[in-house]
Each structure stands twice: as structure tokens, then as C-alpha cells.
Structure 1
Amino acid sequence: MAASGVKTPVTSQAYLEGSQVNQTKSLISELCRLFYNLGWVSGTGGSITAKVHDDSVPKSNQIIIMSPSGVQKERMVEEDMYVLSSSGDILFSPLPKPYPHKPPKCSDCAPLFMKAYDKRNAGAVIHSHGMESCLVTMMDPLAKEFRITHMEMIKGIQGHGYYDELVVPIIENTAHERELTESLAKAIEAYPKTTAVLVRNHGVYIWGDSWISAKTQYNALQYNASLQSIIFQAECYHYLFQAAIKLHQLGLDWSTPSHGPIRSSQALRCVVLDIEGTTTPISFVTDVLFPYARDNVRRHLEETYDTGATQEDIELLRSQVQEDLQHGVVDAVPIPYDEDGRHHVIAALVYIYSSGSRLAQRLLFGYSNFGDLRKYLSGFFDTTVGNKKETKSYVEISESLGVHKPSEILFITDIFQEAVAAKAAGLEVVISVRPGNGPLPENHGFKTIKSFSEI
């Protein structure tokens, strides 16, 4: 007996045979037939599960009803359903049916369903083989995510609005359903906002707080009079997958706010990469370069101060300081020309370090963790062409590269203001999203990537 004096569902045979359990069984069998008619499940493919809603039982302890494997969805009845405990143990199995029916077997999706229950406290989970959920993963065979934005039906997805970007992870298919369990679990953990996971060339798993919300998050604008609690559902995932497929067929980009023509990679002649936050984590400068300079620059200057190369660098530094003074830069300190200047430079340079010069870029890529990467690069630009947040700088780069038009250049950066300036100059622009990067404004309108493989 529980503390309240009510026997828990798992230990009560009367509860397992009661109206709440039977109603949930009946509902799932009815939904299976509905999903078959909608094309979400076909024959024995696909499945659905839901918890038995009971206000007297904590959601995490509610028992689970699950459709069987190997039974035609359009002929499924409540007697075919399995009953599981909240931990996944089978409490009730359906009785065998005479030949040609196969022996009863719980859904092959059971371990995957349990991951959604355990990691998201779901109330219901749907596994669909709908054609659109399969095709949408084939449009880009290398994509690890499905992304779409600025579509009205996104508002039907939990935690999303019209201006948001909906991101659904894509995992690779396996020969057997149960082998997807680990990759599904990793996707759920890696994408805390998602309520779905696509399986390439296979289908989609969708979960929600209840069978209504799970169903609502799958297709758009369906009506079923036999389900009195559903009058008009915005079943959005199906709609959005289908919309992306149609936009793709029209040559339009579903992942950008404007849904304009898909940019062909063949039209690009150049790619311009930012360093901090794009090719290299922002933390690399503060955690690696700054400490290295602090520990070594004094010794280097003491050894080379009188050489021509170092004196040229100091003159450049003096010119920079003089320019800063003319523009009223706070804390800019003149560098003397006498012996005091020697000590001034050696002390001051501990705090003045530019990672943006062309020389610094060559050193960075010449001594990377993967060896000398300079052979993969054609040239270097630094702020001598202009401020990175000014449009004219990107015009200068375009002219220097000799392209026919600026749109032949793809610029990748993590800084929104730089992206705006480059876009104004006519360049194609993508924003890099890496751990440690600064936040982007809402509705920024640029495509984002987490890996160069997404270009």
C-alpha cells in the first residue's frame, strides 16, 4: 500500500484490468488505425505507446501501454496491446492467436520508447514511417540535422515560435531497430529542446506530454470525428517535413528566413574564413596565445631588441600608439626613443598582442595540432584592408580576389556585425556557432553552422 492508502498500479491486478488501462488500450488501437490511414504506419511498420493517465499516480510511475510488433496496424484491437511498468517490465502480454497470426511480441521500438520516457518524462511516443519523414533525411545525405525556420506551423512545436529555427537531429539507420537505442539517447541528450529524432532512410520518433501532444506535433490539419478530444490538430512535424520537400523540389531553401533560391556550391569560387570563433575557439587566444606571449615576449625582446626586424616592429608600434593618441584612445602611452624606451617596450608588449596580423595567421595555421595547414590556404588578409565591421573592407577583399561578383565569395564568421557588413558588400555569409562564442541576436536572418562539413 502507498502512503495515501491507495494500492500502486503495478501491484494491483484490478487496476491493470480497470477502465483507465482498457481505455488507453482502445485509444492506441484506434490511433494505430488512424495513423495507417494517414500513411504514418504501414502494415507492421511503425508503432505508438502512451502512459495511462492517472492523477493519483506520479507521471514517472504511470504504467505504459505499447502496441505490439508484427500485427497489422489497420487490424489492431485493444486485446493486442502490451502493458509495461514505468521501468519497462512487461506486466501483461496478449494471448496468442491461431494461425496464420504470429506469436505475440512487444514492439521492437520498446527500448527506444523507454529512452524518451526516461530522459524527457514523456507521456506518449510515436514512431512513424511516414514517407515525408524518410525523404526529408535524403535531401542532404551528409546532414546531421534537419533545420527549418520562418514557417507558421513551427508554432505548433513545443517551445518554438514563428521566428525560431526548428532543429531536429538525424541519426543513421541500422539493420535492427534496437540498435538505434544508443544513438537516439545521445541525440536526445545533445538536443535538449527537440521533441523528435529523425532516422535516416527510415522514419521519425516523436514524443510529447500526452498522446494528444505527441500526435499534435506530427502532422498538420487533420480531423478525426471519432476522437472527440481532437477537433482540429496542428500536427506540425509532418507538415514541416512535407513543406521542406516541396521547397526543395522548387529549388528554394527551407532553412533560411527568406526561403530564397538554394545557393549552389558550384557558384562559389572563394571561401573567406574568420579565425576566432570560426576556425579556432575564442578561448584559444586567451588560454594559449596570451599566456605564450606573456611567458616568452620579454626574453625574445631582450635578445633581439637591437636587430633591424625588431626595430621595425617597434616603429610600427610607435605609429599605432601615435594614431591612438590622436584619436583619444584611453591608456595609450607614447614610447620613448631613448634607453627608457627599451624598457618601456619590453614591459608594455606583455599587454599588447595582435593575433590578427597576417604573420600571426601564418604562424597559427603553420603550427596547428594537425600540422602545417598553410598549404590549404591561398592567402591572408588582416585589418590593413579595413575594419572587419565595415562594408568597404569586404569590397576591398572582393576586388583583391578578382571574382566576377562578390556572391562568389562565402564569408564565415562568428560575429553578427561582421556578417552584416559582408552581406552588404554582396558576399554570401554563414555564421559559425561554436562553444564560447558570443550570443547572436534573435531573428538575425543568417544561416548558422557548427561544422565546416555543413558548408
Structure 2
Amino acid sequence: MRFLAERERICQLCRSFWQLGWASGTGGGISMRVGDTLLMAPSGVEKENLTPADVFELDRDGCVTQAPSGGQRLTACAPLFMAAYRHRDAGAVLHSHSLDVVLATMTVPPGEPLRLTRLEMLKGLQGVGYFDMHEIPVVDNTALEHELADRMERAVLQWPQSNAVLVRNHGVYVWGRDVAHAKTQAECIDWLCRCVVAMQRSGLSHLTHDRSQPDDVARERAALAAA
């Protein structure tokens, strides 16, 4: 079997996402790029029971080159994954149904991104600093996953500084330079969304400024530019 180690990594991540509650009820999705080949977990399969033989192979255009023999269906997330592969040269794209992400999207007015600043885990996102006003796009959900593809592509192009797209009442698509990086980005976004939800419940604003001095901001921006 080709790409056995990578297939096993997808299965391991699916189990981890299921344990976190991010991929229950066959939801969620994991994909990664190996050279010119894309590997994707199937749709409609219990993610905690996924095996390497269940994983699809696709080419860089998103066409299936090798399908599982058990009749599994290609993930409905595939067209959305492709937006990040095409426009961001992503090494992996993940889809989570994190409850905290879903709740955080409900706090965002229609047509607006989720804005975040001065939260520690912002520093875990690629190219983002603690003092930045970071925006993560939020698109409205649709009844069918593939119908989100155009909205996903527009968001990817409109917010080049974000490596994630939130889907209102649904979850998040997040990517990175490789599967480990995409995983950490998903974890940071989940933490940030959990913080937003907790602060809302406590009557706090996640956009409240602290007492940082201008030279603190300048030092951070210089460090990010040099990274």
C-alpha cells in the first residue's frame, strides 16, 4: 500500500478529533498532501474506526486516482479542501466540528469576520502576534457541504492573512504547511474560540485592550518580521 505512514497519520488524527468531540457522528475530515498526491479520509465513516485502506488518493486537480475497495464515498469536504491546496499551497487541510468553534461563530454579526486580539494563543497562529487584530473569516452554512465551496474560495482569497475559514453553526476549515502544523493551528483556533465563548458568558469583551505600551507592540512586530 502506498503512503502507509501518511495514511496511518490520517487515521490517528481522525481518532484524536473524535476523542475531542470534533469529528463525532462521522463528521469532520482530514486531508494531506504528499508530493503531487492528496490523501483524504472518506465521508460517512466513523472516524474513530478509520483504517489506512479507507483513505482516498487524489491528484493535484482533485480527481480520484485510487479509491478504497469497500465502497466508501469521497469526503464531501473535498471541494473545500481544494481551495486551500490551490490558493495557499497547503500541506494539509483539516475540518473540525468543534462545539466551541460553532458557538463562537454565533457571536459574529453576518458578513463580519471573527476579530481577535491580545489573547495568548494568537501567537500560535502562523504570522500572527499577540497585539495584532487578527481576523478569521466566517461564512454562512449551507444544507449541503459541497455548496460551501464557492464561499470557502472567496474567503480564502479575501483573507490571505488567515489560515482558517469558520463556517457559521458548523465548524472550521484550517490548513498548514504540513499535517502537524495544521493540527496545531486547529488546536489554537479551538482555544481562541473557547476563550471567546467563555468571555461572552462572563460579560467580557474579547476585544478589550490591555495596558501594553507602544514599544511592546513594535518589538513584537519586529520579531515577527524577522521570523
TM-score by length of 2: 0.90
- The residue type equivalent to 1:254 in the other structure is H
CA distance in 2, matches of 1:195, 1:142: 20
Aligned length: 215
CA distance in 2, matches of 1:169, 1:76: 31
Q: Which has the higher contact order (CA 8 A, sep 6+)?
A: 2
| Residue 254 (1) aligns with residue 222 (2) | no
CA distance in 2, matches of 1:166, 1:141: 16
> 139, 145, 162: which is aligned to 1:171?
139
Corresponding residue number in structure 2 for 1:245: 197
- Structure 2 counterparts to residues 115-264 of structure 1, below 5 A: 115-142=83-110, 144-219=112-187, 236-258=188-210
Corresponding residue number in structure 2 for 1:81: 55
RMSD value, Cα: 1.8
Query: Is residue 26–residue 46 contact of structure 2 (8 Å, CA) maintained in 1?
Result: yes
- Structure 2 counterparts to residues 55-70 of structure 1, below 5 A: 57=35, 62-70=36-44
| Cα drift, residue 125 of structure 1 | 0.4
Query: Is residue 163–residue 443 contact of structure 1 (8 Å, CA) maintained in 2?
Result: yes
| Cα drift, residue 44 of structure 1 | 0.9
| 1:126 match: secondary structure | strand
| 1:174 match: secondary structure | coil
CA distance in 2, matches of 1:163, 1:141: 23
More strand as a share of residues: 2
| Residue 47 (1) aligns with residue 21 (2) | no
Query: Is residue 43–residue 74 contact of structure 1 (8 Å, CA) maintained in 2?
Result: no
CA distance in 2, matches of 1:151, 1:121: 28
* 4+ residue runs over 6 A deviation: none
**For 1:100-125, what per-residue CA distance to the aligned partner results, in whole angstroms no more than 9, with x for missing partners?**
xxx41000000110111000000000
**For 1:154-178, what per-residue CA distance to the aligned partner results, in whole angstroms no more than 9, with x for missing partners?**
1100001111122100000001000
Change (3 A) 1:442 1:28: same
- Structure 2 counterparts to residues 215-364 of structure 1, below 5 A: 215-219=183-187, 236-258=188-210
| 1:32 match: secondary structure | helix
- % identical equivalent positions: 40
Change (3 A) 1:249 1:143: farther
- The residue type equivalent to 2:195 in the other structure is A
CA distance in 1, matches of 2:208, 2:185: 22
**For 1:301-332, what per-residue CA distance to the aligned partner results, in whole angstroms no more than 9, with x for missing partners?**
xxxxxxxxxxxxxxxxxxxxxxxxxxxxxxxx
> 113, 118, 126: which is aligned to 2:81?
113
| Cα drift, residue 141 of structure 1 | 4.2
| Cα drift, residue 198 of structure 1 | 0.4
Corresponding residue number in structure 1 for 2:10: 28
